[in-house]
Amino acid sequence: MAESVPNGNLSFKNNRNNNKPSFVVRREKLLEQRKSLSIASVERRLVEEVQKHDVLIIVGETGSGKTTQIPQFLFDSGFCGHGKTIGVTQPRRVAAVTVAKRVAEECGVGLGQKVGYSIRFEDVTSSSTRIKYMTDGLLLREALLDPYLSRYSVIVVDEAHERTVHTDVLLGLLKKVQNVRSKYIKDHTSAGHKRASNGTILEKENADPSISVLKQCQGRKLSPLKLVIMSASLDAHIFSEYFGGAKAVRVLGRQFPVDVFYTVDPQTDYLDSAIVTIFQIHSEEAPGDILVFLTGQEEIESVEKQIHENLQRLPEEKRNMKTVTIFSSLPSEQQMRVFAPAPAGFRKVILATNIAETSVTIPGIKYVIDPGVVKARSYDPVKGMESLIIVPTSKAQAIQRSGRAGREGPGKCFRLYPESEYEKLEDSTKPEIKRCNLSNVILQLKALGVDDIFGFDFIEKPSREAIKKSLEELILLGALSDELKLSDPVGRQMARLPLDPVYSKALILGSQFKCLDEMLIAVAMLSVESMFYEPREKLDLARTAKKCFASSEGDHLTLINFLESGARKTSSIAVLCDMPVTSTVKSADTLNKWAFAFRLAEMTHFSSADALLLLFFLNAALKQPDGTYRALASGEVVQIHPTSVLFRTKADCIVFNEFVKTTNKYIRNITIIDGFWLTELAPHYYAKQD
C-alpha cells in the first residue's frame, strides 16, 4: 500500500491533563498563578513582621497579590486561633465581592465558608468564616454591636490610599480599639489587679472607664488586635506617623515600562476621543486588551453602544473586539465577567470606572486609555449641599492608571489631554472626609461613644464648618439633642440602620405615620443606585415601561408603584425594561427584617406623602416665576431632572432628595407637597425662614 503523505496542519494536544477532572486542572492553575505572584516570595517575612509589630503598613504595586494573598498567609500561620477571624476592609463593594470569590476559589472552598464577604444588604458568611472581606463602612457598623471588634485577631485595612471617609473614620476607631485592647490585656496580666477569693480577676479600682465596656464583649477572650494597613501608593509616611511611627514595608511588584502618550491638542469630548483611540489601537497596535477609564454607568453604556455600532461598519475580519464593563452598580453575577479572557483572536476592551484603578486587577491589559477625569463627591458646607461632579484626576491617579498597562509586559497609556495639562494636576487626591457631608459618620461616632467630634483623633481633620453643619442637620432630624447627645431611641435607631440618616429617619417616620411598608420600599429603592435602569439600546422601551407606574404625586410614589406591581409580576417587568429588580427586592427584604427587629413595623397604611415631607423637609423647593425652583435651605436655583416623572410639573412646592450638578443644577426624586405642611410639620425649621 502506498504511503499517504498528509497535507496541512494537524492540531496536537498535550495529554498531561487528560485524566484530571476540570476542577483539579483549575486548582492547579490557580496554585501556579499564586506562586508566580511577586508577594509569594516574601510570605515568611511578611508574616514575621505582622507578628512583631502591632501595626504594619504594606505598600505594594497593584496586582502584586496584597488583597488576595496576605489574608491567606495570615490564616496559614495561625492568626485565626480560638475561632478568631481576619477582617479585610475594602472601600468598594464590588472589590469585596470579587476578591472574596477569587480567594474562596483559591482556597478550594465554597463562598461563605472559610472565606466570605459582607456588604450592605448582603452577608455571605457563616460561623466558620475566618477570612472575611467587607466594606469599611460595614466594619464601622459592626463596631456598634461589638465595640472592641473582639471577634477579629487581625484587621487589614485595604486600599488605604483611597482615603474614603469610612477608611479615615475606621483608622481612628481602630487606633482606639487597639489601645484599649492592649491596655486591658496588660492590666490583666500585670500584678496590679485584684483577685477575688475564687481567683477570678476583678477590675482595678481606677480602671479606664471605657474598659468597663469590655465586659460587654460577651465573654469573648480578648487578644491584642493586629492592624495591617495596605496601600498602593508610595506615601506611607502619613499612615506611619498617624500610628506613632509604625513600620512600613514595600512589596516590589513586577512592573514593566509603560510608554505614556498625550494628545497634541485639548479634547472637547473625551468620550468621542476615547472611542477613536480604541479603534486606533485596534487597527494599529499589537494584540493586548484595552482598559478605558470612564466616570460612571451612563458613560460606560453609551461608549459600549457606540463601539458596537462602529464595529458593525467594519469588515467582518476586523470585528474581533469584545467589550466588558465593570462599575459598582453592576449586578454581582455580571461583575465576574470582566475577568474572563476574550475568545481566541479577539481583543477585550474593558470599560471601567475608577474601580479598575487599584481595587480590582484585571489580567491581560496592555493598553490604557485615560481621559483624565473621575466622578467625585463634593460638599459645600455653607449650603449643606453634597453633589457628585466630574473632576480632573490627580497626578497620583494618572500614574496608577498608566501602571495598569505594565502588569504583564511593556504597555502603552494614552492620556486624552495634552502634557501641559498633566503638569497642572494636583499631586494627590484630597481625602473624601474633606469633601463630603459628615452626618452619617458623626452619627456613627456618637453611637460608638465618641462625644467630642471636634476632638476625635482623625488622620486628617475635616473642617469645623462641615462638622458644625452636620451636627445641625442631625439635631434637625432629631438624632441629636440640643446638647449634641445621641437621642434615645431615635438617634440610636438611626445609627443602627445602614442608611443615610435621612433615610433612617424615613423608616421611623413611616412607622409613626403608619405607612412603613411604603417607606421601606421607597428607601430600599433610593438606597440602590438608579432604580430605573435605562439601558441606551432600550431607552424607549424602558421609558414607556416606567410610565405605567408614574404617579402624579411624584417620583417616590412612582417607585412604590413600581415595586408593588413588580412584586406581583417581577419577571415580566424585569424582562421588559431590563432592571435589576432583584437587588432592590433583596434590600427591601433586609430592611424589613431590620425594621421588624426595631419593632417599628406592623402598621396599616396612612399617608406616605406626609412622611416623605417630614423626611425631606430640608430639601423643600419652591417654584419661581420663571419655572425654575429655589431650594429653601440652600437658596440654590435648580431644575427638575428630565428623568423625573414631574419633569413638566407646575407644582408650587416640592421635596426632592437628590441634587445633581452636571451642566445644570438638577434635582431628582421628587414629590409634590402642599406648602402649608412645611410650617405645620416641620415648624422648628421653617419658622426660621419667615
Which candidate, 495, 524, 492, places its Cα nearest to that of 510?
A: 524
In sequence order, the 6+-apart residues with CB closer than 8 A to the CB of 7 are none
Q: CB under 5 to 8 A by kind: which of ligand CDP, Mg ion, none does 462 bind?
A: none
In this structure, the number of other CB atoms found within 10 A of the CB of residue 410 comes to 12
Pick the stretch among 60-68, 76-84, 147-155, 486-494 that binds Mg ion (CB under 5 A).
60-68
- Toward Mg ion, which CB reaches closer, 193 or 254? 254
CB of 401 to ligand CDP, least distance (A): 14
Q: What Cα–Cα distance (Å) separates residue 316 from each residue in 284, 311, 427?
A: 17, 9, 45
Which candidate, 422, 423, 441, 421, places its Cα nearest to that of 431?
A: 441
Q: CB under 5 to 8 A by kind: which of ligand CDP, Mg ion, none does 403 bind?
A: none
- Toward ligand CDP, which CB reaches closer, 60 or 406? 60
CA 149 to CA 180: how far, in whole Å?
11
Pick the stretch among 44-52, 61-69, 504-512, 544-552 that binds Mg ion (CB under 5 A).
61-69
Using CB under 6 A, pick the residue from 55, 66, 243, 431 that binds ligand CDP.
Answer: 66
- Collapsing DSSP to helix, strand or coil, 40 comes out as helix
- Toward ligand CDP, which CB reaches closer, 251 or 678? 251
Using CB under 6 A, pick the residue from 55, 65, 294, 651 that binds ligand CDP.
Answer: 65
Angle at 351 between CA 347 and CA 353, to 5 degrees: 150
Using CB under 6 A, pick the residue from 59, 60, 278, 521 that binds ligand CDP.
Answer: 60
Pick the stretch among 62-70, 177-185, 320-328, 465-473 that binds Mg ion (CB under 5 A).
62-70
Give the torsion through C-alpha atoms of 227, 228, 229, 233, to 10 deg. 160
Q: Which three cell numbers stand for residue 118?
A: 459582607
- Toward ligand CDP, which CB reaches closer, 132 or 496? 132
Cis peptide before 489 (omega within 30 of 0): yes
Burial 512-538 (b: 16+ CB within 10 A, else e): ebbbbbbbbbbbbbbbbebbbbbeeee
Site pattern 310..329 for ligand CDP (x: CB under 6 A): --------------------
Pick the stretch among 1-9, 63-71, 108-116, 422-430 that binds Mg ion (CB under 5 A).
63-71
Using CB under 6 A, pick the residue from 42, 56, 58, 63 that binds ligand CDP.
Answer: 63
CB of 62 to ligand CDP, least distance (A): 4
Handedness of CA 486, 492, 494, 498 (dihedral sign): positive
Using CB under 6 A, pick the residue from 55, 56, 68, 367 that binds ligand CDP.
Answer: 68
Q: Checking DSSP bridges between strand 289-293 and strand 347-352, what pairing results, if any?
A: parallel
Using CB under 6 A, pick the residue from 98, 125, 439, 671 that binds ligand CDP.
Answer: 98
Q: CB under 5 to 8 A by kind: which of Mg ion, ligand CDP, none does 65 bind?
A: ligand CDP
Site pattern 343..372 for ligand CDP (x: CB under 6 A): ------------------x-x---------
- Toward Mg ion, which CB reaches closer, 230 or 416? 230
Q: CB under 5 to 8 A by kind: which of ligand CDP, Mg ion, none does 68 bind?
A: ligand CDP
User: What is the size of the binding site for Mg ion (CB under 5 A)?
Assistant: 2
- Toward ligand CDP, which CB reaches closer, 337 or 605? 337
Using CB under 6 A as the binding rule, whether residue 435 contacts ligand CDP is answered as no
Q: CB under 5 to 8 A by kind: which of Mg ion, ligand CDP, none does 60 bind?
A: ligand CDP
State phi, psi for 118 to the nearest 5 degrees.
-145, 120
Q: Checking DSSP bridges between strand 373-380 and strand 411-415, what pairing results, if any?
A: unpaired
Start-to-end Cα distance in the chain: 109
CB of 265 to Mg ion, least distance (A): 36
HSE (CB half, 13 Å, CA atoms) of 129? 24
Pick the stretch among 7-15, 94-102, 571-579, 627-635 that binds ligand CDP (CB under 6 A).
94-102
Count Cβ atoms within 10 A of the Cβ of residue 378 and give its class: 0-12 exposed, 13-18 middle, 19 or more buried: middle
Site pattern 279..298 for ligand CDP (x: CB under 6 A): --------------------
Q: What Cα–Cα distance (Å) separates residue 51 from each residue in 153, 251, 635?
A: 11, 17, 56
Site residues for ligand CDP, window 459-518 (CB under 6 A)? none
CB of 158 to Mg ion, least distance (A): 6
CB of 466 to ligand CDP, least distance (A): 32
CA 169 to CA 441: how far, in whole Å?
7
Using CB under 6 A, pick the residue from 339, 422, 598, 606 that binds ligand CDP.
Answer: 339
User: What is the size of the binding site for ligand CDP (CB under 6 A)?
Assistant: 16
Q: CB under 5 to 8 A by kind: which of Mg ion, ligand CDP, none does 64 bind?
A: ligand CDP
Cell 498535550 locates to 14
Q: Which residue is nearest to Mg ion (CB)?
A: 67
Using CB under 6 A, pick the residue from 92, 102, 132, 446 that binds ligand CDP.
Answer: 102
Site pattern 6..45 for ligand CDP (x: CB under 6 A): -------------------------------x--------
Pick the stretch among 64-72, 297-305, 581-589, 591-599 that binds Mg ion (CB under 5 A).
64-72
Pick the stretch among 40-48, 58-66, 466-474, 553-561 that binds ligand CDP (CB under 6 A).
58-66
Amino acid at 313: R
In this structure, the number of other CB atoms found within 10 A of the CB of residue 576 comes to 15
- Toward ligand CDP, which CB reaches closer, 50 or 385? 50
Q: What letter does residue 554 receive in the DSSP assignment? A: B
- Toward ligand CDP, which CB reaches closer, 252 or 687? 252
Q: CB under 5 to 8 A by kind: which of Mg ion, ligand CDP, none does 102 bind?
A: ligand CDP
- Collapsing DSSP to helix, strand or coil, 19 comes out as coil
HSE (CB half, 13 Å, CA atoms) of 531? 28
Order of strands, sheet of 122-124, starting from the edge strand that comes earlier in the sequence: 122-124, 115-119, 131-135, 85-90, 152-157, 226-231, 55-60, 247-251
- Toward ligand CDP, which CB reaches closer, 97 or 542? 97
Which candidate, 474, 681, 515, 495, places its Cα nearest to that of 600?
A: 515
Return the axis-axis angle of helices 439-447 and 464-476, rounded to nearest 10°: 80
State phi, psi for 111 to the nearest 5 degrees.
-65, 135
Q: Which three cell numbers stand for residue 401?
A: 492608571
CB of 98 to ligand CDP, least distance (A): 5
Pick the stretch among 65-73, 486-494, 525-533, 601-609 that binds ligand CDP (CB under 6 A).
65-73
Pick the stretch among 59-67, 81-89, 501-509, 670-678 that binds Mg ion (CB under 5 A).
59-67
SS (H, E, C) 70-136: HHHHHHHCCCCHHHCEEEEEECCHHHHHHHHHHHHHHHCCCCCCCEEEEECCEEECCCCCCEEEEEH
Using CB under 5 A as the binding rule, whether residue 67 contacts Mg ion is answered as yes
Residues making contact with ligand CDP (CB under 6 A): 37, 60, 62-69, 98-99, 102, 339, 361, 363
Q: For binding to Mg ion (CB under 5 A), which residues are involved? A: 66-67
